[in-house]
Structure 1
């Protein structure tokens, strides 16, 4: 048996570091260890290739997207309500740039991408099996579930199972479709649906619904076929909701609380949204008071009591702070980084979409799963975790790094080489 070359062993080690970030996400801040390794190597790569930072399309895309995320934090620091917190956030988020550069380097060969998709799907699948075991037995690797929700491997004190599964769903659905056809896609859809519903995050429900709509269109690409398939999916979801409602008191409580919104009053909508309406109203007041650069990244909780209505449930009289973030990405960006941040984020979204539209079919195929995951994560008509926080921000940038790596210049070259190879073979074919 031939041993793998040093180059192949290095590529495998780099891939394991990239995947290690995801594997360790449920375990506190331990995911920062592979991030540290990746960032150190990424810094070395930045120094080594500093002369080509602007000429290399892949590096240029990473730099632009990072600037659109990081510069608003810096600008918000000059008028921040909690300057120390904002400047520390600016320093901490610097690690995302070399992380993205490392990911682009680690996944520079087109040939590794099938293994990347399968590995991420497998990790998501293991978490899914663990969630099913918790549902059926009351225990999992993360211990017992929370009173009203499945928590899975993340544990009852860290209720992120629903948002993470919904965000990673494109990888599992894509691999199931490619490896086992439409039947596998249907089984993967059902396997994901129940744990996401029982995890109790209504934002995750909407994210997963968006992913399913995109996959339904991908399967049909024709409105006359798409509509019946979508109706079938909705009926399946309705049936699953009914079964979960009967089988889980916690899930039933979440549904009944959501139905309060049908009463139409502000108080009912606020209760149905778990107080989100109060948070959004306070965020709007912050935006009006700090329109240009916001209250400062991660300064939301410190300025919250100054704008909250009397008796606001999120104001802690003992600590003098309020809700931790705006729970909605547009309001988070506007309240914490102001109009400057909103313009930068809009520019970043525009640049990412243009990069996707200009990409070759093979690049789009690689970028489909991380791209759809980002859309599900950032879809503005939803509620969200904090994008400037250490944990969700890292998950966001890990996915963004995968997306940019799929569209990187090195991958373009690999596609071109493969096309040339095929063309040469065709010319010599009998």
Structure 2
């Protein structure tokens, strides 16, 4: 009798992709998170996924569709930037990480998603991870054990802790988008269940106090609703606008913090708070690096080393984080917190052009194929990258999502 797990992996290698997503929920050791290079259980699972995919390709059990070539420019651009880097020792690990997230994992997911059941397996893992993170996040807020915000532990961060404050919001957003899209494209009890699940996930998403995530989720939901029905989209926008106004006015129990956070979105340009001001300074530093190295950038993972040479003097030395597990820590600001500016500063216009080509192609193909969920996921990632970049375990979830989008765009399942 065959051993069940190996046989399952051979028959359904998408199990490894689902496992990569689920393992991101395993809490990391504090010392491991603060080290320069750390490997998580999810990283190990992703390596096994990539290795298994390589075996399938070499043995002829699977093949890459022609549209997989869309990632080739990323490989070329990142390699050129690494070879041109003045410090290849620093750039090489960044090169490997970049390819892991945007090339290797997406291609592995593309290969393993052979049938619709594989897509449901990975999608189910994304929703399950979102449910776990959301439940932990809500518990943290209601028990006062979340991350510190305004001197109180009222911020939901899930199992990722204060050291990765946007991790929970990222995973929960993906789950909510999948459930929202499922609700829009189904009927009967599945629709009710999907909408109920999406509504429940909205709670921890709000409690994350992540302004950028709220904006990305709103954009993704709006795009999906417009694709589904313009009339429905208009009605939902009116209702959500009214809810936002109520929150801003501070009506309702416990809404003061949420309302203030929501109101700060519109004031981030005219009256930015400290975190937003630091982000603008980091963006300025990234722009300066690109001006001096326009074609191939300063080299992968070299932004941190050159930051102080380009950043304004008013930039903070780091951001304060605190939670019951990790305690108080001051995290250094080692990236521009903008994926586009990170690529532009470290890989130049060559790297940014390759990056834009990938996402442009994925969006175009998903819209042509009327992929409601896929378009929503891509919209979220594209908007999110305007104020965030790669880092931490949730990045592997984003990489898996890109693989699902690539698989759908290539017509691997329908």
Q: TM-score range by the shorter chain?
A: 0.7 to 0.9
Task: Encode CA deviations 1:132-160: one digit per residue, 9 max, x unaligned.
Answer: 2323334xxxxx20112211222233212
Distance in 1 of aligned mates of 2:207 and 2:412: 42
Residue aligned with 1:147, SS: strand
Higher helix share: 1
1:169 to 170, 173, 176: 176
Alpha-carbon RMSD:
3.5
Change in 2 beyond 3 A, CA 1:226/1:187: same
Deviation, structure 1 residue 284: 1.5
Which residue number in structure 2 is paired with residue 68 of structure 1?
73
The answer on 1:350 being equivalent to 2:352 is no
CA radius of gyration, larger in: 1
Distance in 1 of aligned mates of 2:15 and 2:408: 17
The answer on 1:214 being equivalent to 2:223 is yes
Deviation, structure 1 residue 78: 3.0
Change in 2 beyond 3 A, CA 1:187/1:238: farther
The runs of 4+ residues in structure 1 deviating greater than 6 Å are 3-8
Distance in 2 of aligned mates of 1:190 and 1:241: 20
Deviation, structure 1 residue 323: 3.0
Matches within 5 A, 1:153-232: 153-159=159-165, 160-177=167-184, 178=186, 180=189, 183-184=192-193, 186-219=195-228, 221-222=229-230, 224-232=231-239
Contact 1:40 1:98 in 2 (8 A): no
2:347 to 321, 324, 337: 337
The answer on 1:150 being equivalent to 2:156 is yes
Which residue number in structure 1 is paired with residue 58 of structure 2?
47
More deviation, 348-357/159-168:
348-357
Which residue number in structure 2 is paired with residue 26 of structure 1?
25
Contact 1:260 1:271 in 2 (8 A): no
Distance in 2 of aligned mates of 1:124 and 1:186: 15
Instruction: Give the gaps of 5 or more residues in structure 2.
Output: 29-39, 150-154, 320-330
Distance in 2 of aligned mates of 1:230 and 1:38: 40
Instruction: Give the gaps of 5 or more residues in structure 1.
Output: 139-143, 416-430
Matches within 5 A, 1:2-17: 9-10=8-9, 14-17=13-16
Deviation, structure 1 residue 186: 4.8
Change in 2 beyond 3 A, CA 1:7/1:19: closer
Residue aligned with 1:296, SS: coil
Contact 2:17 2:49 in 1 (8 A): yes
Which residue number in structure 1 is paired with residue 243 of structure 2?
236
Residue aligned with 1:379, SS: helix
Deviation, structure 1 residue 200: 1.7
Higher strand share: 2
Deviation, structure 1 residue 293: 0.8
